[in-house]
């Protein structure tokens, strides 16, 4: 009597387990998102807004029409790029908290060709993109070199360098880059040849969005389909293994940081070239840290980063609609951005303590 019961129970459990046989990291991430959405809904409910109406407005705001979709994608782009940069570094074993600074330097770099050569036509845009990437890359290589040369912990170095970059940009737009006679903290406007073209008239959708997706694909190819990517992942996850294979961990650190910074630099460059059309003080407002959160929520996978940053973009454009139509404070966006990463970190910590690591700082 008892045994068939137990058998059936066992079979049922087995079925459930197979149905849930998505990787642990995926389940944890889904749980984190589900948990934060529930909390978000509870907040909206507490504000006395009918949930149905809120959901409709939010969906329309994020994906309702071409404009909404393009807003979502434009919000997505810098977060995706910073996340891609962060995950390349972290998978290579460097805890790069410098996304914010690399983004600032990328933005500055994007202005340099125009300031140096003036309006030189079609060559200006590719030069600007390249220059942004290079500036971000150089900025990110510094902490890697300092780590090798002096053993300086990259977490603190990148954190400090964020502020140096922010103030440097502020200095530029208040001084050398400020047009004569202007009192605003911004540079002169780029000529239209030097900006990322809009893809659909009447929206903000610019070419940078597509380029960011291309970069995501490129990072995936690099990590999964090249020997360099294999070495990068191996050296971040198992430095001892790589050392025994006679490879230099130092070279991997430098090259992963350089690539990371170039991608982070693109994030800033695209904001300047596709959204602002000039260098403006304070244009980023914490994008660097949001990108880092995206990277971790994506399980440090480039394709996952596309999905997660799309969520972040949608949250941002949805809350704009919620605010204008239902007077729900747009602060909801930050809450819904912060919550999943907190939940993810806590769940992972508890699992780690139980001996089942979901991810580690370097994997």
361 sits near other proteins (criterion: CB under 8 A): yes
34 sits near other proteins (criterion: CB under 8 A): no
49 sits near other proteins (criterion: CB under 8 A): no
Taking the C-alpha atoms of residue 154 and residue 104, their distance in angstroms, rounded to an integer, is 18
Closest CB to other proteins among residues 116, 350: 350
Q: Provide the b/e sequence for 325-339 (b: ≥16 CB within 10 Å).
A: ebebeeebbeebbeb
Taking the C-alpha atoms of residue 256 and residue 262, their distance in angstroms, rounded to an integer, is 10
The region of 49-57, 60-68, 133-141, 340-348 touching other proteins under the rule CB under 8 A is 340-348
* Backbone φ, ψ for residue 202 (5° rounding): 80, 0
42 sits near other proteins (criterion: CB under 8 A): no
290 sits near other proteins (criterion: CB under 8 A): yes
Inter-CA distances, 100 with 123, 141, 163, 328, Å:
28, 14, 9, 28
CB of 114 to other proteins, least distance (A): 21
184 sits near other proteins (criterion: CB under 8 A): no
Closest CB to other proteins among residues 69, 295: 295
Closest CB to other proteins among residues 78, 194: 78
267 sits near other proteins (criterion: CB under 8 A): no
338 sits near other proteins (criterion: CB under 8 A): yes
CB of 353 to other proteins, least distance (A): 5
Restricting to residues 124-183, name those near other proteins by CB under 8 A: 146, 150-153, 155-157, 159-164, 166-168, 170-171, 174-175
22 sits near other proteins (criterion: CB under 8 A): no
Query: Residues with Cβ < 8 Å from 47, sequence gap 6 or more?
Result: 328
Restricting to residues 229-248, name those near other proteins by CB under 8 A: 230-231, 233-234, 237-238, 240-247
341 sits near other proteins (criterion: CB under 8 A): yes
Q: Is 107 exposed, middle or buried (0-12, 13-18, 19+ CB in 10 A)?
A: buried
Residue with tokens 């490879």: 247
Instruction: Provide the H-helix boundaries in 47-176.
Output: 51-63, 66-91, 99-117, 124-150, 154-174
Closest CB to other proteins among residues 263, 332: 332
Neighbours of 301 (CB within 10 A): 19
CB of 6 to other proteins, least distance (A): 24
342 sits near other proteins (criterion: CB under 8 A): yes
Residue with tokens 């600074």: 101
316 sits near other proteins (criterion: CB under 8 A): no
């Amino acid at each position: 009597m008892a045994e068939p019961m137990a058998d059936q129970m066992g079979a049922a459990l087995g079925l459930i387990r197979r149905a849930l046989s998505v990787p642990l990291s995926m389940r944890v991430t889904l749980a984190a998102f589900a948990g934060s959405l529930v909390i978000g809904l509870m907040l909206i409910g507490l504000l006395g807004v009918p949930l149905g109406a809120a959901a409709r407005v939010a969906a329309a705001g994020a994906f309702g029409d071409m404009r909404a979709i393009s807003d979502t994608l434009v919000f997505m782009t810098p977060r995706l790029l910073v996340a891609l940069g962060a995950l390349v570094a972290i998978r290579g074993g460097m805890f790069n908290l410098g996304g914010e600074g690399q983004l600032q330097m990328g933005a500055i770099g994007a202005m340099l060709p125009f300031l140096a050569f003036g309006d030189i036509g079609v060559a200006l845009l590719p030069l600007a993109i390249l220059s942004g990437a290079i500036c971000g890359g150089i900025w990110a290589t510094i902490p890697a070199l300092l780590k090798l040369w002096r053993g300086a912990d990259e977490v603190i170095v990148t954190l400090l360098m964020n502020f140096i970059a922010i103030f440097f940009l502020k200095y530029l737009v208040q001084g050398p880059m400020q047009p004569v006679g202007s009192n605003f903290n911004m540079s002169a406007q780029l000529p239209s040849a030097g900006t990322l073209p809009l893809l659909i008239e009447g929206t903000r959708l610019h070419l940078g969005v597509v380029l960011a997706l291309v970069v995501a694909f490129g990072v995936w190819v690099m990590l999964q389909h090249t020997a360099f990517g294999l070495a990068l992942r191996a050296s971040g996850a198992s430095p001892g293994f790589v050392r025994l294979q006679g490879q230099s961990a130092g070279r991997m650190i430098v090259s992963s940081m350089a690539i990371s910074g170039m991608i982070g630099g693109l994030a800033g460059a695209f904001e300047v070239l596709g959204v602002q059309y000039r260098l403006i003080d304070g244009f980023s407002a914490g994008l660097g840290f949001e990108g880092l959160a995206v990277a971790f929520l994506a399980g440090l996978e480039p394709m996952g980063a596309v999905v997660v940053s799309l969520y972040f973009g949608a949250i941002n454009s949805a809350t704009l609609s919620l605010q204008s139509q239902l007077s729900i404070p747009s602060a909801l966006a930050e809450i819904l951005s912060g919550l999943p990463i907190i939940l993810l970190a806590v769940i992972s910590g508890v699992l780690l303590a139980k001996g089942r690591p979901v991810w580690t700082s370097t994997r």
